[in-house]
Chain A
Amino acid sequence: GNSVTQMEGPVTLSEEAFLTINCTYTATGYPSLFWYVQYPGEGLQLLLKATKADDKGSNKGFEATYRKETTSFHLEKGSVQVSDSAVYFCALSYNYGGATNKLIFGTGTLLAVQP
Chain B
Amino acid sequence: GENVEQHPSTLSVQEGDSAVIKCTYSDSASNYFPWYKQELGKGPQLIIDIRSNVGEKKDQRIAVTLNKTAKHFSLHITETQPEDSAVYFCAATTRRGSTLGRLYFGRGTQLTVWP
Please determine whether chains A and B interact with each other in the same assembly.
no
